[in-house]
Structure 1
């Protein structure tokens, strides 16, 4: 099972939680090894999944928006239609987090600080074109501020950047931020990018509540190379569905603040298709690559 990000992030944790359950429902003494292939905003890992033999022995997580945005912004040797979709598992809204030592406690205070200190608010993300990056760009435009982007290979590195005060702010998913908070991380969350407050963080205001109509989340689903034999594809789809519905897995996922949202392949495909159309329009309006913004 390929994870296109570094160990310790939300995708990596989910992969290691669900892998034994997928193996359980595959039966016949199946076992799954999780391999981290970070880099290029997820592009290295996505390409490894897409270009592996379509024999059912390689599966992996694909993350939106990265799996959709990378082929829009640059030439990539994969496209989401080049995967056999097995089912979506996670839907994790975005969020901004700062170190507890900073005086900023909400988005209004962040905007005030950023306007008083142009370019000094550096923020970490999991890469160019990630949900974290696009959300921060949307916020810059909506708030009329200039922030400094610092891409990392995974959420764990972004977290360490804030904790070590190498960067001012983390743009990361709320589920990931809550995991670090549970572990005693000295971070303060400023807002969640969901339409309404999630059950994960019922006391944390949304961006919309704070005056910024920004909704951004990361779907994290499981896919395989295109062209699986039908019987093998059906076996994998069923195993992912049963694993996602397993009460024991769901209980463990809740302990890591993993926001579960299972989607069967057809519904997952429809969401990806709609999201890709939206990101193509966003690219026309607000190109997000480093070269396009210089």
Structure 2
């Protein structure tokens, strides 16, 4: 997923009637008092990770603002789709929300078109975007390349022999690497692992050549000289590594991929209520504590309206569909 340069200029177009995920073009009705009882936020991942820690901080501050409990419930499994399904089964009153990312609400449905139980743009509405986790392309320190151009030349000279790791089939690192193959015209060997930590160890042990992962995951090893960063997989250079040129700067336009984290609701929830929740979430995100936590996790934040967030989600679904189709990737 990437935030393209056209996102801000075209985001308002996303309010076109008929897009369930967006806001209505009709005059918004006055939102009722909200909340008057506890609010539940479902998370599609196990407790304890950075995403879970972050959403619990968010819930605490929303609870303080709303004067009502905000309960975080983890419903891990199936790349986050279990939590998404449960939100759709709950009453569409705004009291059950989904904290999710582009794996569960973007890649899932295009990787499993026959068995997916929902379609994000049809069944959900955008509520609030909380951050973008940009990606960095790194290679093992012993690979004889210094930048993305040299890497592509090396891969072309060794077709099917250069390896790249991912945290799972259909994960963001997998799709980002497939995107690179499509744009650069190279063929690499995919080696899926069970999470990011084993990939880092494989890179350090010279058993895999390349990885496109979250900057917060890889830059510590880069700073230590144990891995080499060769390209920011993002429209702009990363705040955490401004010295590393983007893939676009190196001639690979469109090789941009990141993970977004945000809140969705059932498409049946009234827009006026979701606009209120969006405004309250944006207030919370401006708190120094929340900004500091995002920086710790290597997540970039901008105050997005619901139409702007909708545009981000739409671009991700479109991008994932194209990558999956061209790479002939499927989980079915």
**TM-score with structure 2 length normalisation?**
0.70
CA displacement, residues 129-180 of structure 1 (integer Å, 9 cap, x when unaligned): 44432321122233332212234564455445545655433221324434x5
Task: Please list every run of 5 or more consecutive structure 2 residues that lacks an aligned counterpart in the other structure.
Answer: 1-40
> Matches of residues 1-294 of structure 1 in structure 2 within 5 Å?
1-5=41-45, 11-12=51-52, 14-28=54-68, 30-33=69-72, 35=74, 37-40=76-79, 42-54=80-92, 56-64=94-102, 67-73=105-111, 74-75=113-114, 76-80=116-120, 81-152=122-193, 154-156=195-197, 158-163=199-204, 167-178=208-219, 180-181=220-221, 186-213=226-253, 214-228=255-269, 233=274, 236-280=277-321, 286-290=326-330
Report the CA distance between 1:107 and its aligned residue: 1.8
What's the CA shift string for 1:200-247, capped at 9, x where partnerless? 321111112222112223222112344347786466434322222222
Aligned-residue RMSD, C-alpha: 3.6
Instruction: Count matched residues.
Output: 288
Shift of 1:193: 1.7
Conservation of the 8 A alpha-carbon contact between 1:94 and 1:131:
no
Q: Which has the larger radius of gyration?
A: 2
Distance 2:161 2:47 in 1: 29
* Residues 1:36 and 1:115: Cα distance change in structure 2 (over 3 Å): farther
CA distance in 1, matches of 2:248, 2:88: 37
Q: CA offsets, 1:257-288, max 9 Å, x none?
A: 2111232223212332344345545555x144
Which stretches in structure 1 are left out of the alignment for 5+ residues? Answer: none
Q: 1:14 to 1:200 in 2, by over 3 A?
A: farther
